[in-house]
Structure 1
Amino acid sequence: MNKLKNNEEGYALVTVLLIFTIFMVLLLSFTGQSFSSMKQNQVVEKKSQAVALAEMGVSYFQSLINNIYVTKKNNEVKLAIEDYMGDNPGLSDAHYKEEAIKIMKSAILNDLNEKKKVVDNTAGISDSFIVPVNDETGGTFQIDMEPLPAGTPIDAVYIPFKITGNEDGKTAILKGTMKLDITVTPASSSSSSIITITEKVFPTLNELTAPTITNNACKNPGSILESCTDILVDTRSVETKGNNKGALLPYGLIDGNNNGENKKSVFSTVPLFISGNGNHMKSVDFLSTSTGNMTYGSNIKHVENLTLKSMGSITFEQHFEPKASTVYAMGSLIANMKFYLYNGSFVYVNGDARITGSHTPIIDNSIMCVRGDLSTPGTISPANGGQLIVLGSINNIKTPYTESQFLDLCGKTVTRNFNPPTIDWGDNISREVEYIH
């Protein structure tokens, strides 16, 4: 009986111990799961906070850009675009749109760089800056400027970015693009924003047009007639002397001396040869749209207010001594004897020039411009405000002038009106955002 009782007590102890063990295992298991769950919740919470910080960074960045845009669009950006269109008139609307996008984006990025220096003193030298949000946990978001992807269309202002939210060692990254739309409206004839442009251009003589001659005696007369104020030479002349009498000459001819002629105009559409002396002429024009040669076979001395314009070349076989006169040669210029410029005369040679005289004075504010090269065995002496301006070389020695300097000094001043297109920007900055991790 006692033995049976002892056995029962032993079984009871084992049972109690077994139950206690099971309860301890379950308790430890539940406790471990509880701690693990708490840890996971903390990780998820920190990750969620990092995501929230990144989203906060996107909104902050959008607001920052929008404030800059609103401040700049009607001030420095508008003025910069207007200045560009004024300095570069006549280009396509698509070109102005691209340039406006560049100007606006540059203004935004420059101002962002200044903002970075305020928010993060170390950020002025990089393309990113960190904005602190929570001092207790060290929560921040970092804004990084991203490169524009290849193939991005030039139809709006695009600013790619990456925002990284940081919370207690956990990060979340959002990537996206801020976009500012732009619309270019072509100018209308009724627009009130017409800009007057004054600029220098290289002469072309495209403005030369043949006069309408009603008096047939003033068409191809062979000489300057007293009865003709305007003369038109539009056919080649016929040889009237010697063995070749009746042969067609390679030029139109103005024969005989023209000394003392006053207020006459000769217009030629063919190469022109003026054979006689033209001394003491005043206010006489010789104009030619031919790309051939305009040749003066005899002296032109002591002339005043003479105008010579040729789409081709000009040759002076004898002395040329003008006062207050103008010469334009779109081809070359050859002076075989004296070539003196007085009293504010102006000579422009679009090609090369050759002066064979031993001495060439350019005086009294006279100017000689040669876009090509100049060759001369003698000396050229600008004095009393006279100038010799050669873009190419003088006797194979390159001059110091650049093309822009030559244009500024020798170009023709023209004024024209330019009606620019209208640039309109979108009302707000839009955004596209992608969650990375």
Structure 2
Amino acid sequence: MRKTMENEKGYALLVVLFLIVFIMTVSALFMRGSLSNAKQEQRVDQNHLSVVAAEMGVDYYKSQFLNAYYPIRDDKWKEFSDGKQAILNDPNEKDPQGKIERLASQKRIELVGKLRNEFENIIQKELSPHKIQDYLEFSYHDFKSNSATDSHEVSVSGKVIGVYNPVNGDGESENVLSLNVFFEIPEFISGESNLSNRGTNSIDLSWITNTDKFPFIEKPSLPCNTPNNGKLPSNVICIAEDIDKIKKANNSTLYFEHNISKNNKGNVAPHIVGAKIYVQNNVEGSFNINGATNLQFYVKGSLNEYHNFKDFSKSKYFALGNMKVQQHMDINNSIIVTRGDLDSKQSLEVNNKSIVIINGKLVSNGKVAKVTGGSKVCVGGPVNLNEVSGDSSSYLYYVQGNGNPPRNSNLNYIPISPEAFSKDPNVLFENCAGASIKDIDEPTWINPVVDVTY
């Protein structure tokens, strides 16, 4: 036993030495890994800094182009608006419509050209790199400004370079981002690219020149069986004889093969909400159509001696003959079209995007008619312009030579040449019936599109 213990006296030293070597080796490996990770993290940080620098460059150059775009755009629109108003105010201008159309196209092209020139100037001024800090900077490479006159687009494209450059020169990093900014210029006038097709999209007025096309129905087969209480069922189509007997006819179609007449000054409209009324001859009698809602009148003759025609709302009245109202006429978000004259004895108010089209003359009887709220009035015959007023959102179109000088009003007075009207009356009426070239609001500008590729 003693002899065995003496032989094992050197083992302890060997074990200690082995443990020392093992610990030193493992520590060295850990230290090497830690140093490697630290360097890797440093490289990632350096790369990240160069990306940050490139992103800052993108924001900088993008803002340069956007800040240039908005003032130029607004200036060109103002030039067009001022030019348009000058044309409208010129009493000697024979073709204001055509001239405004040409001005709109010209200013749109000028806007494209001026934007491209300004963007090129910015590119030339930004040649030098921009330092963020001593070791961080950005610059651009191969920036170009392009434009397409046919599509009315301007674009700027190029590369933005972000650089991390430490003072000791160790670990320089660079990143490149692609920047594209697109500017699309909308039409200054809706339909500008196809002006010849602008016209009577909303209302068919072919019957003004061809009465055979007047919107009328065939005679129904059944009479209106009016009960004692005068209330017709809804949604019926029938031949009516006496409007005095009809107390209610909502959403029905009533066909009068003779005249409509009423013996007292009662009110018709509230009893026939949403109805369509077709009259083969005239509408006569001193009664009222007040408070009409969603009512449609189609009269092959004339409207004679109505007492009042007030608060005619969301309704239509089409007539081949004249329209004569004894007292007041108030139209709200409605359409009136007469192939003859319109004569309102006391007052005429055209409100809230209403449309009034008169093939004959507008008789105002010394009273001042008012056209407001984005409404339009078209008159083919004589009209006393001094007796028609309105706001700047509304328009009166007339045949040049048929009206005396307009009054001092914000209403837009638009003359149409008599030669053009004689050749095609729709040259005048299309301004009210369809999209009007003069009804110009500032276009819905399209936001610039910024595209960044990493």
TM-score (norm 1): 0.41
Structure number with the bigger relative contact order (C-alpha 8 A, sep ≥ 6) is 1
More strand by share: 1
Larger Rg over CA atoms: 1
Scaled by the length of structure 2, the TM-score of the pair is: 0.40
